[in-house]
Amino acid sequence: MAQNEHNTLIPLKKSVITVFSGFIVIGFGTFVYNLLGQHPERAWQAYMLNFLLWSAVAQGGFLFSAVMHTVKARWSGPLSGLSESFAAFFPISFVLFLILFIGKNHLFPWIHEDLHGKEIWLNIPFLFSRDAIGLLLLYGFGAVYLYYALGWKLQRNSSGRPIRNSLIKLWNTEKWDEGNYRKRMTVFSILYIFLFAVILSLIGYDLVMSLDPHWYSTLFGAYSFVKAFYIGLGALIILASIHYRRLGPASGIKTDHLVDLGRLFFAFSLVWADFFYCQFVVIWYGNISEETAYIIERTMVSPWNSLAWTVFIISFIIPFFILLNRNIKTKPIPMILLSGMIIIGIWLEHWLLLGPVFHHDAASIPMGFTEVLITLGFFGLMALALSIFLNLFPELIPVEQKDAAR
């Protein structure tokens, strides 16, 4: 499939803008409608769930490029460029986090509880301050790494496509020093990886685990950032598969790239399931009432037990058997469907963690059009941000890259 040299990586058509903008309007309208209704807490709960999910998708998707550069993995090739596009969601994620402060009374049930000394850590000003600083550091170092990564691709542009003068000025090509660019990329990729683990652990503790202030798990932080990389890889597979289907060989992506990315995806499905199981089995055998109550409510009490099994089946069991097959990893459509299913599974997993806190005596899982439509709005934000980024920087995401081939 040939590509005109003036074509963008994923052309941003008016129809794309219209569809994704429509999703955003629907989601925002649903959120506001519920805020003004009798149960504004339901809107805030759906909002926080989707903030956690889509921020993790962006953070984990971007991590792929940082990891590949740090370990000098040449096989990643054009996949790294696609991975870097997830940084487009970083500023949106930060703004969405700040908005959470408005709904604090609906999101943190411990605000009016006796925390038995934990109020030193669990108080709203300190919580939002430390999380905001953490996200600023994570996104800031990610943005600096992105600057050097895109500058590197600009300088080594081998696709033959013209480069806009504005981009040449932005990266000041007259002062191009290959060695310095590589060193700075390495420094900031390592910083991003380190902060990814630390800040996502902090977010997991503050925005998820703290909702039940009497329960704790020392493994929960690691579980949070492993899960983020897992769904980030799923989102990257979707983006790479769309790119590959639209441009074919001109995309620079080969079947070997898809297979290797699928293998990494399979590996992290195992890691995620391992953390899921380790957290469960240690608490179960410890049999401490403060810990087991949390697990029993989510895995053995109706209606949450059925949701727990659903999450485990569609996020691990089904992917495990499907990804054992090498050929399936080379087929874009099945991989898009599988990756989308896993992201939906982790969305449900977030609801499994958060839902019982707000709905102790629910006879059925309190999930309906409100949650689905607000999720659609968040998806629109992510999709539109990625589309705009890829449209703005087509020159910086290499195609037909010679050094990406085996």
Q: Is residue 2 part of a domain?
A: no
Q: Is residue 299 part of a domain?
A: yes
Residues contacting 356, CB < 8 A, separation 6+: 297, 298, 304, 362
Can you give the pLDDT at residue 61?
96
Mean pLDDT of the chain: 86
Q: Judge whether residue 9 has pLDDT over 50.
A: no
Q: Judge whether residue 357 has pLDDT over 50.
A: yes
Question: Most distant CA pair in the chain: distance in Å?
Answer: 67
Can you give the pLDDT at residue 113?
81
Can you give the pLDDT at residue 403?
41
Find out whether 357 and 211 touch, Cβ atoms under 8 Å.
yes
Can you give the pLDDT at residue 173?
54
Find out whether 155 and 181 touch, Cβ atoms under 8 Å.
yes
User: Mean pLDDT throughout 383-387?
Assistant: 93
Q: Judge whether residue 396 has pLDDT over 80.
A: no
Ordered DSSP codes for 198-255: HHHHHHHHHHTGGGSTT---TTHHHHHHHHHHHHHHHHHHHHHHHHHHHHGGGGS--H
Rounded CA gap, 154 and 168, in Å?
8
SS3 374: helix
pLDDT 10s digits, 45-89: 999 999 999 999 999 999 999 999 999 988 888 899 899 999 999
Q: Count the Cβ atoms, other than its own, within 10 Å of residue 96.
A: 19
User: Mean pLDDT throughout 304-327?
Assistant: 94
Rounded CA gap, 6 and 394, in Å?
9
pLDDT 10s digits, 261-294: 999 999 999 999 999 888 888 888 888 777 788 8
Tokens standing for 224?
């949070």
Q: Judge whether residue 310 has pLDDT over 80.
A: yes
Can you give the pLDDT at residue 248?
76
The percent of residues above 70 in pLDDT, for the chain, comes to 88
Q: Is residue 6 part of a domain?
A: no
pLDDT 10s digits, 152-192: 777 665 444 555 555 556 665 556 566 677 888 999 999 99
Q: Is residue 404 part of a domain?
A: no
Indicate the number of domains in the chain: 1
Rounded CA gap, 288 and 271, in Å?
26
Q: Is residue 318 part of a domain?
A: yes
Q: Judge whether residue 195 has pLDDT over 60.
A: yes
Can you give the pLDDT at residue 311?
94
Q: Is residue 133 part of a domain?
A: yes
Q: Is residue 4 part of a domain?
A: no
pTM, two decimal places: 0.91
Among 353, 359, 348, smallest CA distance to 315 is for: 348
Rounded CA gap, 102 and 203, in Å?
18
Rounded CA gap, 356 and 352, in Å?
7
Domain of residue 322: give its range: 14-394
Q: Of the segments 4-8, 210-214, 265-269, 292-296, which one has the largest average pLDDT value?
A: 265-269
pLDDT 10s digits, 110-136: 888 877 778 888 999 999 999 999 999
pLDDT 10s digits, 218-266: 889 999 999 999 999 999 999 999 988 887 777 788 888 999 999 999 9
Can you give the pLDDT at residue 8?
42
Residue 5 or 14, more confident: 14
Among the listed ranges 198-207, 307-316, 353-362, which one has the minimum average pLDDT value?
353-362
Find out whether 375 and 46 touch, Cβ atoms under 8 Å.
yes
Q: Is residue 399 part of a domain?
A: no
Residue 309 or 365, more confident: 309
Q: Judge whether residue 401 has pLDDT over 60.
A: no
Find out whether 381 and 54 touch, Cβ atoms under 8 Å.
yes
- Share of the chain residues as helix, strand and coil, in percent rounded to the nearest 5: 80, 0, 20
Rounded CA gap, 199 and 261, in Å?
25
Find out whether 314 and 341 touch, Cβ atoms under 8 Å.
yes
CA distances from 40 to 54, 93, 332, 353 (A): 21, 21, 40, 20
